[in-house]
Chains A and B, each alone.
Chain A
Amino acid sequence: MARNDPTDTGGLFIGRRPGTARVHYAAEPDEATAARRRVDRGVAAFVLVVETLVCLTLWGPQPTAWLWVGSQVDYHSGSVSFGIAVAFAGMIASLMLTLVLAVRLDGIWKVVRRAAGYDQREGALPRIFMITAIVALLAFGFWFLILEGPAPSLAPR
C-alpha cells in the first residue's frame, strides 16, 4: 500500500507518547486494604491543604512579617537601609525555606496519593503555587483598590 499519510512517521516514534511513562517502583507495592486507602485519601487531602496554606504564606504573611521585623530593626538601629536590607534578606531566606518545605510536602502528597490508589505521576506544587499567587493578587487588589485605595474616597466612610 502506498504510504502518503503526512502523519505517518515511518516508525520513528514507536511506543508511548512523551509524558505518559508509568511510575517505576523499586518493587511492586503491596495491595492496600480499602479502609487504608480511604484513610490515605484523607491524609493526602490534609497534606494538600497544608501545602496550600504554606504556599499562601508566601504572598502575605511572610512579607508582612518581614516588613514588621525590618521596621523593628529600623527603630532599634536607627538605620532605614539596614531595616530594608534585613527585611529583604529575611524574605528571600524564608522564601527558600518555604519552597523546600513545599517540595517536601508535595513529595509526601504524591506518595500518599499513590498509596490511596491513584496513578499519581506529577506533583501539585506548580499549580498550587500559581493558584495561590492569583488568589493573593486578587486579595491584594481588593484590599488596595476597594478597601484602602480610591474606592473609599469615591464612597467616603
Chain B
Amino acid sequence: MRRLFDHYRQYQELPPEEVARELRERRAEERRRELVFVPELDLARTAWHEPPHPEAVNAATFALRRRMNAYPDPGAREVRELAARRHGLAPAQVAVGHGAAELLQEACAALLAGGRELLVAWPGWGPLPELARRVGGRPVPVPGEGGIGPLAERVGPDTGAVAVCSPNDPTGAALAPADVRALCERVGERVWVLLDEALADFLPPGEDAAGLVAELPNLLVFRTFAKAHAMAGFRIGYVLGPAGMAERLTPSFSVNAPAQAAAAWALELGDPVLARRRAAAARERDRLAATLQGSPLSFPPTAAPFVWLSSDAHAGREIVEHLAARRIKVAPGEQWGDERHVRVTLRDPPATDRLAAALGELR
C-alpha cells in the first residue's frame, strides 16, 4: 500500500514557493560558476560618450513632427545666422554642411584641383589625407607636432592649402589665435589655411581662432557638432570663411531639417552644456595625470577630451595590447605612423578609474 501511494506521490507538483526557491538556488549556482563578464570600454573614438542634450533631441523631434514632406531650408538660414552671431561674422561667411568632414572634402576639391598639394600638420586628423586624395589633391604630411614653423617653410608653388587641427587630433595640442594669424600671414594669401576646429568647444571660451576669419582672407575654420555637442549622428557642421568661399563650399542639397533644428538649439542655448562637458573632460584629464605620476607613462598638455599617451618603458603597441587584454580599446599611434604613442579618449570617472587601474598593471 505504501509503495502504491509513493507511486502517485511522485506526480504531485511542488508548491510555488518551493519552485521559486529551487530556481533561485539554481541561478545562484550558475552565477557562481560563470566567468565574470567584463564589458568592453571603447576609448578609441573621439565622439562624446553621452547622448546629446535632451532639448537638442526635442528640437529635432519637433522638426520631425512638422512638415517633413517639404524640403528643409536650403540655406540653413537659422543655423548660419546663429553661427555668424556667435563668431562675430556675417551669415554669408558661414556654410552649413553634413559635418565638418564633408566641408573639408569640399574645400579640398575646390582648392586642390589639378593635383595641388595639401600640407597637413602631422600627426593630424587621420582621414584628412584620404579625403584630399579622393578629390584629386596631393596630401603631404608635415611632421612638427602641430607647430606652424615647418608648415610655413614647406609651402611651395604647388601648395594649394595647409591643414592644421586645433585642438589637434591626436595630440590635443591647441594653436593660439596668434599662431593661426602668423601661419596665415606666412603662407601668403595665395595659399589657404584649413583650420579644423572640430574640438574647439573644449577650449576655454575666447581661445579659438574662429573670429580671425573676419580679418584673414585665406582662413577657413571648420566646426562640428559631433564632439562637444554629442551630435555625431546628426551629421552637421559648418565652415567659416570669406563669403565667396563659403558660398562655394555650401552643399548642393542642404542638411536635413531635424539636424538643422538640433544645431540651432545647440548654438543658441547649448553653452551651459558645453561648459559642463569641458569641465568633465578637464576633471578626467587631471585625475588621469595624477594617477600616472611616478609611472613611466605620461601625456603632453591637451585641450581635447583625449590624451596622447606614451611610455618611457613601453612601445605604443605594448600599451594597446595590454589594455586590449583588459577589454579597453584605444587608438594605436601607428595610425599616424607613431610607434610610441596611443590616443586614449577620456570618458567618465568609472572609465578613468578602470583605465588607471589597467595602466597601473603595466610593468
Q: Chain A: residues with CB nearer than 8 A to chain B?
A: 23-27, 29-30, 32, 108, 111-112, 114-115
In angstroms, Cα B22 to Cα A108, docked, is 25
B10 engages A26 (CB within 8 Å): yes
- B13/A112 in contact, CB under 8 A: no
CA distance A3 to B141 in the complex (A): 45
Q: Are A27 and B10 in contact (CB under 8 A)?
A: yes
Contact among B10, B19, B22 with A29 in the assembled complex (CB-CB below 8 Å): B10
Q: Inside 8 A of B13's CB, which chain A residues have their CB? A: 23-25
Q: Does B8 contact A (CB under 8 A)?
A: yes
Between A and B, 17 residue pairs with Cβ closer than 8 Å are A23-B13, A24-B14, A24-B19, A25-B13, A25-B14, A26-B10, A26-B14, A29-B10, A29-B11, A30-B7, A32-B7, A111-B8, A112-B11, A114-B11, A115-B7, A115-B8, A115-B11
Q: Is B293 an interface position by the 8 A CB rule?
A: no
| Interface positions of B (Cβ within 8 A of A) | 7-14, 18-19, 22
A23–B19 Cα distance when bound, in Å, is: 10
Give the chain A neighbours of B7 by CB distance below 8 A.
Answer: 30, 32, 115
Please report the C-alpha to C-alpha distance between residue A29 and residue B14 in the assembled complex, in whole angstroms: 13
* Shortest CB distance A29–B (Å): 4
User: Chain B residue with minimal CB distance to A120?
Assistant: B11
A150 CB, min distance to chain B CBs, angstroms: 52
CA distance A131 to B8 in the complex (A): 28
B12 near A111 with CB under 8 A, answer yes
CB A47 to nearest CB in B, in angstroms, measures 11
User: Once bound together, how far apart are the Cα atoms of A23 and B8, in whole Å?
Assistant: 15
B11 contacts A25, C-beta separation under 8 Å: yes
**Contact between chains at A30 and B10 (CB < 8 Å):** yes
Alpha-carbon gap, A23 to B9, bound state (A): 14
**In whole angstroms, what is the CA distance A38 to B9 when docked?**
18
B26 to chain A, nearest CB (A): 12
Which residues of chain A are near B8, meaning CB under 8 Å?
108, 111-112, 115
Nearest Cβ on chain B to A40's Cβ, whole angstroms:
9
Query: Please, which residues of chain B bring their CB within 8 A of the CB of A29?
Result: 10-11
Nearest A residue to B22, CB-CB: A24
Expressed in whole angstroms, the minimum distance between the Cβ of A61 and any Cβ of chain B is 30
Smallest CB separation, B24 vs chain A (Å): 13
Q: Please indicate the chain B residues that have their CB under 8 angstroms from the CB of A32 in the complex.
A: 7
CB contacts (< 8 Å) of B14 on chain A: these are: 24-26
Residues of A within 8 A of B19 (CB): 24
A112–B18 CA distance with the chains assembled, in angstroms: 22
Nearest-CB residue, chain B, relative to A40: B8
Distance between Cα atoms of A114 and B11 in the complex (Å): 6
Q: How far is the CA of A16 from the CA of B11 in the complex (A)?
A: 23
Which B residues are in CB contact (< 8 Å) with A108?
8
Which B residues touch A27, using CB under 8 A? 10
- Closest B residue by C-beta to A22: B13
Beyond the given pairs A24-B14, A26-B10, A112-B11, 13 more chain A to chain B contacts, judged by CB atoms under 8 angstroms and listed by A's residue number, are A24-B13, A24-B18, A24-B22, A25-B10, A25-B12, A25-B14, A30-B10, A32-B7, A111-B9, A111-B11, A111-B12, A112-B8, A114-B11
